[in-house]
Amino acid sequence: MFKVLVSDPLSEFGIQKLLDAKDVQVDRKTGLSEAELIDIIGEYDALLVRSQTKVTPAVIEAGTKLKAIGRAGVGVDNIDLTAATNAGIVVINAPDGNTISTAEHSFAMIMALARRIPPAYKKLIEGEWDRKSFTGVELNNKTLGIIGLGRIGAEVAKRAKAFNMTVIAYDPFLTQERADKLGVKFGTLDDVVTQADFITVHTPLTKDTKYIINTKEFEKMKDGVRIVNCARGGIINEKALYEAIVSGKVAGAALDVFEQEPPVDNPLLKLPQVIVTPHLGASTVEAQENVAIDVSEEILHILRDEPFKNAVNLPSIPANVMEKVKPYFELNEKLGSFIAQIAVGGLKEVVVTYSGDLNDIDTAALTRTTLKGILAYHLGAAANYVNAPILAKNRDIHVTEQKSTYGGGFNNLVTVTLKTSQEERTVAGTLLNGYGPRIVKIDGYSIDLVPQGNLLLVHHNDRPGAIGRVGTLLGNNDVNIATMQVGRRDVGGQAIMLLSVDKEVSPDVLDTLGELNEIKSVTQIEL
Protein backbone atom coordinates (compact mmCIF):
# COMPACT_ATOMS: atom_id res chain seq x y z
CA MET A 1 0.00 0.00 0.00
CA PHE A 2 1.44 3.38 -1.05
CA LYS A 3 1.02 6.32 1.33
CA VAL A 4 0.48 9.80 -0.12
CA LEU A 5 0.51 12.98 1.96
CA VAL A 6 -1.46 15.98 0.68
CA SER A 7 -0.06 18.93 2.65
CA ASP A 8 -1.84 21.88 0.95
CA PRO A 9 -5.56 22.31 0.23
CA LEU A 10 -6.25 20.46 -3.04
CA SER A 11 -9.55 19.97 -4.86
CA GLU A 12 -11.30 16.85 -3.50
CA PHE A 13 -12.79 16.21 -6.92
CA GLY A 14 -9.33 16.60 -8.48
CA ILE A 15 -7.65 14.00 -6.26
CA GLN A 16 -10.55 11.52 -6.54
CA LYS A 17 -8.48 9.06 -8.59
CA LEU A 18 -5.96 8.89 -5.75
CA LEU A 19 -8.72 8.56 -3.13
CA ASP A 20 -10.31 5.72 -5.13
CA ALA A 21 -7.06 3.83 -5.77
CA LYS A 22 -7.08 0.53 -3.89
CA ASP A 23 -3.29 0.52 -3.56
CA VAL A 24 -3.05 4.07 -2.14
CA GLN A 25 -3.76 5.56 1.28
CA VAL A 26 -4.18 9.35 1.13
CA ASP A 27 -3.66 11.48 4.25
CA ARG A 28 -4.62 15.16 4.11
CA LYS A 29 -2.76 17.27 6.67
CA THR A 30 -2.54 20.95 5.79
CA GLY A 31 -0.89 23.86 7.58
CA LEU A 32 1.99 21.79 8.95
CA SER A 33 5.13 23.54 10.16
CA GLU A 34 8.46 22.38 8.72
CA ALA A 35 9.19 20.47 11.95
CA GLU A 36 5.77 18.76 11.87
CA LEU A 37 6.28 17.79 8.24
CA ILE A 38 9.76 16.42 9.00
CA ASP A 39 8.25 14.33 11.81
CA ILE A 40 5.81 12.48 9.56
CA ILE A 41 7.23 12.60 6.02
CA GLY A 42 9.29 9.42 6.54
CA GLU A 43 6.08 7.32 6.28
CA TYR A 44 5.13 8.57 2.83
CA ASP A 45 5.87 7.44 -0.73
CA ALA A 46 4.63 10.68 -2.29
CA LEU A 47 3.93 14.25 -1.25
CA LEU A 48 1.40 16.54 -2.97
CA VAL A 49 1.67 20.30 -2.50
CA ARG A 50 0.60 23.69 -3.86
CA SER A 51 2.79 26.73 -3.13
CA GLN A 52 2.39 26.94 0.66
CA THR A 53 4.34 23.87 1.73
CA LYS A 54 8.06 24.54 1.69
CA VAL A 55 9.78 21.33 0.66
CA THR A 56 13.21 22.09 2.10
CA PRO A 57 16.37 19.93 2.01
CA ALA A 58 15.58 18.92 5.62
CA VAL A 59 12.10 17.70 4.61
CA ILE A 60 13.59 15.78 1.69
CA GLU A 61 16.26 14.22 3.91
CA ALA A 62 13.56 13.04 6.33
CA GLY A 63 11.46 11.68 3.44
CA THR A 64 13.41 8.45 3.23
CA LYS A 65 10.62 6.61 1.37
CA LEU A 66 9.67 9.50 -0.93
CA LYS A 67 9.54 8.53 -4.59
CA ALA A 68 7.70 11.58 -5.91
CA ILE A 69 6.71 15.13 -5.05
CA GLY A 70 3.75 16.48 -7.00
CA ARG A 71 3.12 20.22 -7.37
CA ALA A 72 -0.53 20.93 -8.18
CA GLY A 73 0.36 24.04 -10.16
CA VAL A 74 3.23 25.49 -12.19
CA GLY A 75 5.91 27.12 -10.01
CA VAL A 76 8.19 24.70 -8.16
CA ASP A 77 10.19 27.38 -6.35
CA ASN A 78 8.85 26.09 -3.02
CA ILE A 79 10.54 22.72 -3.65
CA ASP A 80 14.30 22.27 -3.34
CA LEU A 81 14.89 20.62 -6.70
CA THR A 82 18.60 19.95 -6.16
CA ALA A 83 17.94 18.12 -2.91
CA ALA A 84 15.09 16.15 -4.52
CA THR A 85 17.23 15.16 -7.52
CA ASN A 86 20.15 14.12 -5.32
CA ALA A 87 17.77 11.99 -3.29
CA GLY A 88 16.37 10.41 -6.47
CA ILE A 89 12.89 11.87 -5.98
CA VAL A 90 10.91 12.78 -9.10
CA VAL A 91 9.32 16.22 -8.94
CA ILE A 92 6.34 16.74 -11.23
CA ASN A 93 4.08 19.73 -11.78
CA ALA A 94 0.82 20.44 -13.56
CA PRO A 95 1.87 23.09 -16.08
CA ASP A 96 -1.31 23.47 -18.12
CA GLY A 97 -4.20 23.29 -15.68
CA ASN A 98 -4.16 26.85 -14.34
CA THR A 99 -3.04 28.79 -17.43
CA ILE A 100 -6.44 30.24 -18.33
CA SER A 101 -7.37 31.09 -14.74
CA THR A 102 -4.09 32.94 -14.19
CA ALA A 103 -4.36 34.77 -17.52
CA GLU A 104 -7.92 35.81 -16.62
CA HIS A 105 -6.79 36.95 -13.17
CA SER A 106 -3.94 38.95 -14.73
CA PHE A 107 -6.40 40.61 -17.07
CA ALA A 108 -8.82 41.29 -14.23
CA MET A 109 -5.92 42.99 -12.42
CA ILE A 110 -5.06 45.08 -15.50
CA MET A 111 -8.68 46.26 -15.72
CA ALA A 112 -9.07 46.84 -11.99
CA LEU A 113 -5.87 48.89 -12.08
CA ALA A 114 -6.97 50.93 -15.12
CA ARG A 115 -10.36 51.75 -13.56
CA ARG A 116 -9.21 51.89 -9.92
CA ILE A 117 -11.98 49.54 -8.88
CA PRO A 118 -10.58 48.36 -5.49
CA PRO A 119 -10.03 51.84 -3.94
CA ALA A 120 -13.37 53.10 -5.35
CA TYR A 121 -15.15 50.09 -3.87
CA LYS A 122 -13.43 50.62 -0.54
CA LYS A 123 -14.47 54.26 -0.34
CA LEU A 124 -18.05 53.53 -1.26
CA ILE A 125 -18.55 50.80 1.31
CA GLU A 126 -17.03 53.16 3.87
CA GLY A 127 -19.93 55.52 3.04
CA GLU A 128 -18.35 58.01 0.66
CA TRP A 129 -19.81 58.71 -2.84
CA ASP A 130 -16.56 59.96 -4.43
CA ARG A 131 -16.79 60.25 -8.26
CA LYS A 132 -13.85 62.61 -8.84
CA SER A 133 -10.92 60.72 -7.30
CA PHE A 134 -11.15 57.62 -9.46
CA THR A 135 -10.88 58.72 -13.06
CA GLY A 136 -9.33 55.81 -14.89
CA VAL A 137 -7.73 55.18 -18.27
CA GLU A 138 -8.90 53.09 -21.23
CA LEU A 139 -7.07 50.04 -22.46
CA ASN A 140 -8.17 50.81 -26.03
CA ASN A 141 -5.17 51.83 -28.20
CA LYS A 142 -2.73 51.42 -25.30
CA THR A 143 0.40 49.26 -25.48
CA LEU A 144 0.70 46.22 -23.23
CA GLY A 145 4.27 45.02 -22.66
CA ILE A 146 4.54 41.31 -21.78
CA ILE A 147 7.73 39.91 -20.32
CA GLY A 148 7.59 36.13 -20.71
CA LEU A 149 5.34 34.98 -23.55
CA GLY A 150 4.81 31.38 -22.44
CA ARG A 151 1.47 29.71 -21.70
CA ILE A 152 0.01 32.48 -19.50
CA GLY A 153 1.70 35.40 -21.31
CA ALA A 154 0.25 34.22 -24.63
CA GLU A 155 -3.28 33.96 -23.18
CA VAL A 156 -2.95 37.48 -21.72
CA ALA A 157 -1.82 38.70 -25.17
CA LYS A 158 -4.93 37.23 -26.82
CA ARG A 159 -7.20 39.00 -24.34
CA ALA A 160 -5.34 42.29 -24.78
CA LYS A 161 -5.78 42.05 -28.57
CA ALA A 162 -9.54 41.69 -28.01
CA PHE A 163 -9.39 45.00 -26.10
CA ASN A 164 -7.69 46.65 -29.10
CA MET A 165 -4.35 46.98 -27.36
CA THR A 166 -0.99 46.82 -29.12
CA VAL A 167 1.02 44.01 -27.56
CA ILE A 168 4.80 44.01 -27.44
CA ALA A 169 6.55 41.02 -25.90
CA TYR A 170 10.01 40.05 -24.74
CA ASP A 171 10.92 36.42 -24.25
CA PRO A 172 14.37 35.00 -25.12
CA PHE A 173 12.68 31.91 -26.57
CA LEU A 174 10.16 33.85 -28.67
CA THR A 175 10.48 33.46 -32.44
CA GLN A 176 9.27 35.99 -35.02
CA GLU A 177 6.98 33.25 -36.36
CA ARG A 178 5.24 32.75 -32.99
CA ALA A 179 5.02 36.51 -32.41
CA ASP A 180 3.35 36.90 -35.83
CA LYS A 181 0.97 34.04 -35.07
CA LEU A 182 -0.10 35.70 -31.82
CA GLY A 183 -0.25 39.13 -33.45
CA VAL A 184 2.29 40.64 -31.05
CA LYS A 185 5.32 42.84 -31.70
CA PHE A 186 8.61 41.08 -31.15
CA GLY A 187 10.75 43.24 -28.84
CA THR A 188 13.78 43.38 -26.60
CA LEU A 189 13.44 43.98 -22.88
CA ASP A 190 14.34 47.59 -23.56
CA ASP A 191 11.64 47.89 -26.26
CA VAL A 192 9.01 46.59 -23.86
CA VAL A 193 10.14 48.77 -20.99
CA THR A 194 10.29 51.98 -23.05
CA GLN A 195 7.15 51.53 -25.21
CA ALA A 196 4.51 50.05 -22.91
CA ASP A 197 1.69 51.79 -21.04
CA PHE A 198 1.05 48.62 -19.04
CA ILE A 199 3.74 46.04 -18.25
CA THR A 200 2.89 42.52 -17.08
CA VAL A 201 5.41 39.80 -16.21
CA HIS A 202 4.82 36.08 -16.85
CA THR A 203 8.19 34.39 -16.38
CA PRO A 204 9.29 31.92 -13.74
CA LEU A 205 11.53 33.34 -11.00
CA THR A 206 15.06 32.33 -11.99
CA LYS A 207 18.48 33.88 -11.52
CA ASP A 208 17.94 35.62 -14.89
CA THR A 209 14.48 36.96 -14.09
CA LYS A 210 15.13 37.96 -10.47
CA TYR A 211 14.70 41.76 -10.43
CA ILE A 212 14.41 41.83 -14.23
CA ILE A 213 12.47 45.03 -13.49
CA ASN A 214 14.61 47.19 -11.25
CA THR A 215 15.40 50.92 -10.76
CA LYS A 216 17.17 51.14 -14.14
CA GLU A 217 14.14 49.71 -15.98
CA PHE A 218 11.69 51.97 -14.10
CA GLU A 219 13.74 55.02 -15.14
CA LYS A 220 13.38 54.09 -18.82
CA MET A 221 9.58 53.63 -18.64
CA LYS A 222 6.93 56.04 -19.87
CA ASP A 223 5.59 58.38 -17.19
CA GLY A 224 2.35 57.01 -15.77
CA VAL A 225 3.11 53.38 -16.68
CA ARG A 226 1.13 50.68 -14.83
CA ILE A 227 2.76 47.45 -13.62
CA VAL A 228 1.24 43.99 -13.08
CA ASN A 229 2.80 40.94 -11.44
CA CYS A 230 0.75 37.75 -11.27
CA ALA A 231 3.79 35.50 -11.78
CA ARG A 232 6.27 35.48 -8.89
CA GLY A 233 7.41 37.90 -6.22
CA GLY A 234 10.99 38.97 -6.93
CA ILE A 235 10.67 39.32 -10.73
CA ILE A 236 10.06 43.00 -9.98
CA ASN A 237 12.19 44.60 -7.27
CA GLU A 238 9.55 45.69 -4.72
CA LYS A 239 11.77 48.41 -3.25
CA ALA A 240 12.40 49.92 -6.70
CA LEU A 241 8.67 49.66 -7.49
CA TYR A 242 7.80 51.48 -4.26
CA GLU A 243 10.21 54.31 -5.11
CA ALA A 244 8.93 54.54 -8.69
CA ILE A 245 5.34 54.86 -7.45
CA VAL A 246 6.18 57.41 -4.77
CA SER A 247 8.17 59.47 -7.32
CA GLY A 248 5.13 59.53 -9.63
CA LYS A 249 6.86 57.63 -12.45
CA VAL A 250 4.57 54.63 -12.04
CA ALA A 251 0.82 55.40 -11.86
CA GLY A 252 -0.11 52.13 -10.23
CA ALA A 253 0.69 48.48 -9.68
CA ALA A 254 -1.38 45.31 -9.39
CA LEU A 255 0.27 42.51 -7.44
CA ASP A 256 -0.89 38.95 -6.83
CA VAL A 257 2.52 37.75 -5.66
CA PHE A 258 5.18 39.10 -3.28
CA GLU A 259 8.83 38.65 -2.43
CA GLN A 260 7.67 37.41 0.97
CA GLU A 261 4.35 35.58 1.21
CA PRO A 262 2.30 36.45 3.10
CA PRO A 263 3.76 39.97 2.98
CA VAL A 264 4.90 41.32 6.35
CA ASP A 265 5.18 45.12 6.84
CA ASN A 266 5.33 45.56 3.08
CA PRO A 267 5.14 49.34 2.38
CA LEU A 268 3.61 48.70 -1.06
CA LEU A 269 0.42 47.60 0.65
CA LYS A 270 0.03 51.07 2.16
CA LEU A 271 0.11 52.90 -1.20
CA PRO A 272 -3.32 53.85 -2.65
CA GLN A 273 -1.93 53.26 -6.18
CA VAL A 274 -1.33 49.58 -5.41
CA ILE A 275 -4.00 46.90 -5.67
CA VAL A 276 -3.36 43.42 -4.35
CA THR A 277 -4.72 39.88 -4.14
CA PRO A 278 -3.28 37.10 -1.97
CA HIS A 279 -1.76 34.85 -4.69
CA LEU A 280 -5.13 34.01 -6.23
CA GLY A 281 -4.11 33.57 -9.89
CA ALA A 282 -4.81 29.84 -9.90
CA SER A 283 -7.61 29.93 -7.35
CA THR A 284 -10.62 28.97 -9.44
CA VAL A 285 -12.71 25.84 -9.21
CA GLU A 286 -11.67 24.86 -12.72
CA ALA A 287 -7.93 25.42 -12.30
CA GLN A 288 -7.82 23.62 -8.97
CA GLU A 289 -9.67 20.63 -10.39
CA ASN A 290 -7.43 20.56 -13.47
CA VAL A 291 -4.12 20.70 -11.61
CA ALA A 292 -5.20 18.20 -8.95
CA ILE A 293 -6.41 15.74 -11.61
CA ASP A 294 -3.18 16.08 -13.61
CA VAL A 295 -0.86 15.70 -10.65
CA SER A 296 -2.85 12.82 -9.06
CA GLU A 297 -2.77 10.81 -12.28
CA GLU A 298 0.96 11.29 -12.70
CA ILE A 299 1.68 10.43 -9.04
CA LEU A 300 -0.23 7.17 -9.51
CA HIS A 301 1.86 6.40 -12.62
CA ILE A 302 5.11 7.05 -10.74
CA LEU A 303 4.11 4.96 -7.72
CA ARG A 304 3.09 2.10 -10.00
CA ASP A 305 6.29 2.33 -12.07
CA GLU A 306 4.36 3.36 -15.17
CA PRO A 307 5.50 6.01 -17.69
CA PHE A 308 4.74 9.53 -16.49
CA LYS A 309 5.06 13.10 -17.77
CA ASN A 310 5.73 16.62 -16.50
CA ALA A 311 8.82 15.77 -14.46
CA VAL A 312 10.67 19.00 -13.71
CA ASN A 313 13.92 17.39 -12.58
CA LEU A 314 14.24 15.01 -15.54
CA PRO A 315 14.78 15.84 -19.19
CA SER A 316 11.50 15.51 -21.04
CA ILE A 317 11.28 12.85 -23.74
CA PRO A 318 9.15 13.78 -26.76
CA ALA A 319 6.38 11.22 -27.46
CA ASN A 320 7.89 10.16 -30.82
CA VAL A 321 11.28 9.48 -29.13
CA MET A 322 9.63 7.69 -26.18
CA GLU A 323 7.84 5.36 -28.56
CA LYS A 324 11.17 4.31 -30.08
CA VAL A 325 13.28 4.03 -26.91
CA LYS A 326 10.70 2.54 -24.53
CA PRO A 327 11.18 -1.10 -25.68
CA TYR A 328 14.91 -0.83 -24.87
CA PHE A 329 14.66 0.30 -21.24
CA GLU A 330 14.75 -3.25 -19.89
CA LEU A 331 17.68 -4.26 -22.12
CA ASN A 332 19.76 -1.23 -21.12
CA GLU A 333 19.10 -1.64 -17.42
CA LYS A 334 19.98 -5.36 -17.56
CA LEU A 335 23.18 -4.64 -19.52
CA GLY A 336 24.13 -2.08 -16.87
CA SER A 337 23.43 -4.48 -14.02
CA PHE A 338 25.23 -7.36 -15.77
CA ILE A 339 28.41 -5.44 -16.46
CA ALA A 340 28.47 -3.98 -12.94
CA GLN A 341 28.34 -7.53 -11.53
CA ILE A 342 31.19 -8.91 -13.63
CA ALA A 343 33.58 -5.93 -13.44
CA VAL A 344 36.18 -5.71 -10.69
CA GLY A 345 37.58 -2.41 -9.35
CA GLY A 346 36.42 1.15 -8.84
CA LEU A 347 34.15 2.52 -11.58
CA LYS A 348 35.86 5.08 -13.81
CA GLU A 349 34.18 5.28 -17.18
CA VAL A 350 31.03 4.08 -18.94
CA VAL A 351 30.66 4.16 -22.71
CA VAL A 352 27.34 3.18 -24.26
CA THR A 353 27.36 2.65 -28.02
CA TYR A 354 24.14 2.45 -30.05
CA SER A 355 24.12 0.83 -33.48
CA GLY A 356 21.65 -0.13 -36.17
CA ASP A 357 18.08 1.15 -35.60
CA LEU A 358 19.29 3.11 -32.57
CA ASN A 359 21.90 5.03 -34.52
CA ASP A 360 19.78 8.06 -35.32
CA ILE A 361 17.47 8.47 -32.32
CA ASP A 362 17.93 10.37 -29.06
CA THR A 363 19.15 7.65 -26.69
CA ALA A 364 19.97 9.86 -23.66
CA ALA A 365 17.16 8.21 -21.65
CA LEU A 366 18.62 4.78 -22.39
CA THR A 367 22.10 5.81 -21.30
CA ARG A 368 20.59 7.13 -18.05
CA THR A 369 18.86 3.74 -17.59
CA THR A 370 22.13 1.87 -18.21
CA LEU A 371 23.81 4.02 -15.60
CA LYS A 372 20.98 3.32 -13.18
CA GLY A 373 21.53 -0.43 -13.76
CA ILE A 374 25.25 -0.09 -13.03
CA LEU A 375 24.92 2.13 -9.96
CA ALA A 376 21.94 0.31 -8.45
CA TYR A 377 24.13 -2.82 -8.23
CA HIS A 378 26.58 -0.89 -6.04
CA LEU A 379 24.24 1.50 -4.22
CA GLY A 380 20.94 -0.42 -4.14
CA ALA A 381 17.74 1.60 -4.05
CA ALA A 382 19.73 4.77 -3.38
CA ALA A 383 20.43 4.94 -7.12
CA ASN A 384 17.59 5.45 -9.55
CA TYR A 385 16.68 6.96 -12.90
CA VAL A 386 16.43 10.47 -11.42
CA ASN A 387 19.76 10.69 -9.61
CA ALA A 388 21.96 8.26 -11.62
CA PRO A 389 23.75 11.02 -13.62
CA ILE A 390 24.40 13.14 -10.52
CA LEU A 391 25.60 10.12 -8.52
CA ALA A 392 28.02 9.28 -11.37
CA LYS A 393 29.24 12.88 -11.58
CA ASN A 394 29.79 13.08 -7.82
CA ARG A 395 31.90 9.92 -8.05
CA ASP A 396 33.92 11.17 -11.06
CA ILE A 397 32.52 8.41 -13.27
CA HIS A 398 32.76 9.67 -16.83
CA VAL A 399 29.77 8.71 -19.00
CA THR A 400 29.73 8.97 -22.78
CA GLU A 401 27.39 7.92 -25.52
CA GLN A 402 28.46 6.88 -29.02
CA LYS A 403 26.64 6.03 -32.22
CA SER A 404 27.81 3.53 -34.80
CA THR A 405 26.35 2.42 -38.10
CA TYR A 406 27.85 -1.07 -37.66
CA GLY A 407 25.47 -3.36 -35.78
CA GLY A 408 27.50 -6.57 -36.20
CA GLY A 409 24.64 -8.24 -38.10
CA PHE A 410 21.97 -7.16 -35.59
CA ASN A 411 19.13 -4.74 -36.44
CA ASN A 412 19.90 -2.94 -33.20
CA LEU A 413 22.82 -3.31 -30.82
CA VAL A 414 23.62 -1.68 -27.48
CA THR A 415 27.22 -2.11 -26.35
CA VAL A 416 28.23 -1.12 -22.83
CA THR A 417 31.91 -0.76 -21.95
CA LEU A 418 32.86 -0.28 -18.33
CA LYS A 419 36.35 0.86 -17.38
CA THR A 420 37.34 0.36 -13.78
CA SER A 421 40.54 0.95 -11.84
CA GLN A 422 41.50 -2.66 -12.72
CA GLU A 423 40.00 -3.66 -16.04
CA GLU A 424 37.80 -2.94 -19.03
CA ARG A 425 34.72 -5.08 -19.69
CA THR A 426 32.24 -5.05 -22.55
CA VAL A 427 28.74 -6.47 -22.85
CA ALA A 428 26.43 -6.09 -25.84
CA GLY A 429 22.73 -6.78 -26.20
CA THR A 430 19.97 -6.59 -28.73
CA LEU A 431 16.20 -6.50 -28.77
CA LEU A 432 14.92 -9.43 -30.82
CA ASN A 433 11.61 -8.59 -32.40
CA GLY A 434 8.95 -10.60 -30.57
CA TYR A 435 11.47 -12.30 -28.25
CA GLY A 436 12.65 -9.44 -26.03
CA PRO A 437 16.15 -8.57 -24.78
CA ARG A 438 19.17 -10.80 -25.41
CA ILE A 439 22.81 -10.47 -24.36
CA VAL A 440 24.80 -11.35 -27.48
CA LYS A 441 28.41 -10.57 -26.61
CA ILE A 442 30.50 -10.66 -23.47
CA ASP A 443 34.06 -9.33 -23.74
CA GLY A 444 34.08 -10.21 -27.44
CA TYR A 445 32.68 -13.79 -27.01
CA SER A 446 29.45 -14.35 -28.95
CA ILE A 447 26.57 -15.84 -26.97
CA ASP A 448 22.77 -15.71 -26.93
CA LEU A 449 21.42 -15.19 -23.44
CA VAL A 450 18.04 -14.17 -22.04
CA PRO A 451 19.13 -11.70 -19.35
CA GLN A 452 17.18 -12.91 -16.36
CA GLY A 453 17.46 -15.04 -13.21
CA ASN A 454 20.59 -16.59 -11.68
CA LEU A 455 23.58 -16.83 -13.98
CA LEU A 456 27.15 -18.10 -13.69
CA LEU A 457 29.89 -16.66 -15.89
CA VAL A 458 32.87 -19.01 -15.96
CA HIS A 459 36.16 -18.18 -17.66
CA HIS A 460 38.13 -21.34 -18.44
CA ASN A 461 40.73 -22.89 -20.71
CA ASP A 462 39.18 -24.64 -23.70
CA ARG A 463 40.24 -28.17 -22.68
CA PRO A 464 38.34 -31.48 -22.68
CA GLY A 465 36.53 -32.13 -19.39
CA ALA A 466 36.30 -28.53 -18.16
CA ILE A 467 32.59 -28.18 -18.95
CA GLY A 468 31.79 -31.63 -17.54
CA ARG A 469 33.55 -30.91 -14.24
CA VAL A 470 31.48 -27.74 -13.76
CA GLY A 471 28.22 -29.60 -14.54
CA THR A 472 29.09 -32.46 -12.20
CA LEU A 473 30.01 -30.19 -9.30
CA LEU A 474 26.80 -28.17 -9.63
CA GLY A 475 24.72 -31.35 -9.91
CA ASN A 476 26.40 -32.85 -6.82
CA ASN A 477 25.39 -29.68 -4.97
CA ASP A 478 21.76 -29.85 -6.08
CA VAL A 479 22.06 -26.90 -8.50
CA ASN A 480 20.05 -27.55 -11.65
CA ILE A 481 21.40 -26.05 -14.88
CA ALA A 482 18.61 -24.62 -17.03
CA THR A 483 20.69 -23.49 -20.00
CA MET A 484 24.38 -23.44 -20.86
CA GLN A 485 26.34 -21.66 -23.55
CA VAL A 486 29.98 -21.83 -24.42
CA GLY A 487 32.02 -19.32 -26.35
CA ARG A 488 35.64 -19.40 -27.41
CA ARG A 489 37.92 -17.36 -29.56
CA ASP A 490 40.44 -20.07 -30.59
CA VAL A 491 40.42 -23.84 -30.27
CA GLY A 492 42.26 -24.70 -27.04
CA GLY A 493 42.46 -21.06 -25.95
CA GLN A 494 40.47 -18.87 -23.58
CA ALA A 495 36.75 -19.62 -23.35
CA ILE A 496 33.66 -18.72 -21.38
CA MET A 497 30.69 -20.71 -20.11
CA LEU A 498 27.48 -18.98 -19.29
CA LEU A 499 25.03 -21.03 -17.28
CA SER A 500 21.57 -20.12 -16.12
CA VAL A 501 20.78 -22.03 -12.95
CA ASP A 502 17.56 -22.57 -11.05
CA LYS A 503 18.75 -21.15 -7.76
CA GLU A 504 21.45 -19.01 -6.21
CA VAL A 505 24.76 -20.85 -5.83
CA SER A 506 26.29 -20.78 -2.35
CA PRO A 507 29.67 -19.05 -1.80
CA ASP A 508 31.27 -22.42 -0.86
CA VAL A 509 30.21 -24.04 -4.14
CA LEU A 510 31.43 -20.96 -6.05
CA ASP A 511 34.83 -21.25 -4.33
CA THR A 512 35.06 -24.98 -5.18
CA LEU A 513 34.08 -24.27 -8.79
CA GLY A 514 36.88 -21.69 -9.00
CA GLU A 515 39.41 -24.28 -7.83
CA LEU A 516 38.51 -26.87 -10.53
CA ASN A 517 41.14 -27.77 -13.09
CA GLU A 518 41.19 -25.38 -16.12
CA ILE A 519 38.68 -22.99 -14.46
CA LYS A 520 40.08 -19.46 -14.21
CA SER A 521 37.24 -17.49 -12.63
CA VAL A 522 33.59 -17.85 -11.66
CA THR A 523 31.19 -14.93 -11.24
CA GLN A 524 27.63 -15.22 -10.07
CA ILE A 525 25.17 -12.71 -11.59
CA GLU A 526 21.58 -12.05 -10.65
CA LEU A 527 19.32 -10.22 -13.08
Ligand X SMILES: NC(=O)c1ccc[n+]([C@@H]2O[C@H](COP(=O)([O-])OP(=O)(O)OC[C@H]3O[C@@H](n4cnc5c(N)ncnc54)[C@H](O)[C@@H]3O)[C@@H](O)[C@H]2O)c1
- CB 75 → ligand X: shortest distance, Å? 3
Three-state DSSP class for 443? Answer: coil
Partner whose binding site includes residue 309, from ligand 3PG, ligand X, none (CB under 5 to 8 Å by kind): none
* C-beta of 283 vs 494, nearer to ligand 3PG: 283
What is the DSSP track for 209-263? TTTSB-HHHHHHSPTTEEEEE-S-TTSB-HHHHHHHHHTTSEEEEEES--SSSS-
Measured in residues, the chain has a length of: 527
Partner whose binding site includes residue 50, from ligand 3PG, ligand X, none (CB under 5 to 8 Å by kind): ligand 3PG
- CB 9 → ligand X: shortest distance, Å? 14
> CA-CA distance, 225 to 147, in Å (whole number)?
15
Three-state DSSP class for 108? Answer: helix
Contact status: 9 vs ligand 3PG (CB under 6 A):
no
Site for ligand 3PG (CB under 6 A): which residue of 9, 75, 118, 471?
75
**Does the annotation mark 232 as catalytic?**
yes
- CB 100 → ligand 3PG: shortest distance, Å? 12
- CB 12 → ligand X: shortest distance, Å? 20
- CB 288 → ligand X: shortest distance, Å? 11
Pairing outcome for strands 143-147 and 198-201: parallel
> CA-CA distance, 444 to 449, in Å (whole number)?
14
Considering only CA atoms, which of 14, 13, 6, 12 is closest in space to residue 31? 6
- CB 235 → ligand X: shortest distance, Å? 8
Contact status: 284 vs ligand 3PG (CB under 6 A):
no
* C-beta of 200 vs 412, nearer to ligand X: 200
Q: Rule CB under 6 A: which residues touch ligand X?
A: 74-75, 95, 98-99, 102, 147-153, 170-173, 202-204, 206, 208-209, 230-232, 256-257, 279, 281-282
Partner whose binding site includes residue 233, from ligand X, ligand 3PG, none (CB under 5 to 8 Å by kind): none
Site for ligand 3PG (CB under 6 A): which residue of 85, 98, 237, 355?
98
* C-beta of 314 vs 331, nearer to ligand X: 314
The one catalytic residue in 279, 368, 438, 459 is 279
> CA-CA distance, 280 to 505, in Å (whole number)?
62
Please work out the total of residues on this chain that contact ligand 3PG, with binding judged by CB under 6 A. 10
Contact status: 499 vs ligand 3PG (CB under 6 A):
no
Partner whose binding site includes residue 426, from ligand 3PG, ligand X, none (CB under 5 to 8 Å by kind): none
> Which among 247-255, 275-283, 357-365, 458-466 is the span making contact with ligand 3PG, rule CB under 6 A?
275-283
Partner whose binding site includes residue 459, from ligand 3PG, ligand X, none (CB under 5 to 8 Å by kind): none
Contact status: 73 vs ligand 3PG (CB under 6 A):
yes
Amino acid at 203: T
**Does the annotation mark 202 as catalytic?**
no
16 burial level (CB within 10 Å; 0-12, 13-18, 19+):
middle
- CB 390 → ligand X: shortest distance, Å? 24
Question: Do 403 and 361 form a contact (C-beta atoms < 8 A)?
Answer: no
- CB 150 → ligand 3PG: shortest distance, Å? 12
> CA-CA distance, 40 to 28, in Å (whole number)?
12
Three-state DSSP class for 416? Answer: strand
Cα 442 from chain centroid? 34
* C-beta of 41 vs 230, nearer to ligand X: 230
206-235 positions binding ligand 3PG, by CB under 6 A = none
* C-beta of 94 vs 196, nearer to ligand 3PG: 94
122 burial level (CB within 10 Å; 0-12, 13-18, 19+):
exposed
- CB 18 → ligand X: shortest distance, Å? 22
Residue 440's contacts (CB-CB under 8 Å, 6 or more residues apart) are: 410, 413, 428, 429, 430, 446, 447, 448, 449
Cα-Cα-Cα-Cα dihedral sign, residues 146, 148, 153, 158: positive
* C-beta of 120 vs 280, nearer to ligand X: 280
* C-beta of 295 vs 509, nearer to ligand 3PG: 295
Rg (CA), the chain: 31
The one catalytic residue in 34, 61, 243, 261 is 261
* C-beta of 56 vs 283, nearer to ligand 3PG: 283
Contact status: 113 vs ligand 3PG (CB under 6 A):
no
Question: Do 276 and 255 form a contact (C-beta atoms < 8 A)?
Answer: yes
**Does the annotation mark 261 as catalytic?**
yes
* C-beta of 90 vs 212, nearer to ligand X: 212
Partner whose binding site includes residue 136, from ligand 3PG, ligand X, none (CB under 5 to 8 Å by kind): none
x/- letters, 331..350, toward ligand 3PG (CB under 6 A): --------------------
The one catalytic residue in 232, 368, 425, 438 is 232
> CA-CA distance, 334 to 526, in Å (whole number)?
10
> CA-CA distance, 75 to 72, in Å (whole number)?
9
> CA-CA distance, 79 to 83, in Å (whole number)?
9
Residue 299's contacts (CB-CB under 8 Å, 6 or more residues apart) are: 4, 18, 46, 48, 68, 70, 92
Q: Which residues are part of the catalytic machinery? A: 232, 261, 279
Interface with ligand 3PG by CB under 6 A: which residues?
50-51, 73-75, 98, 279, 281-283
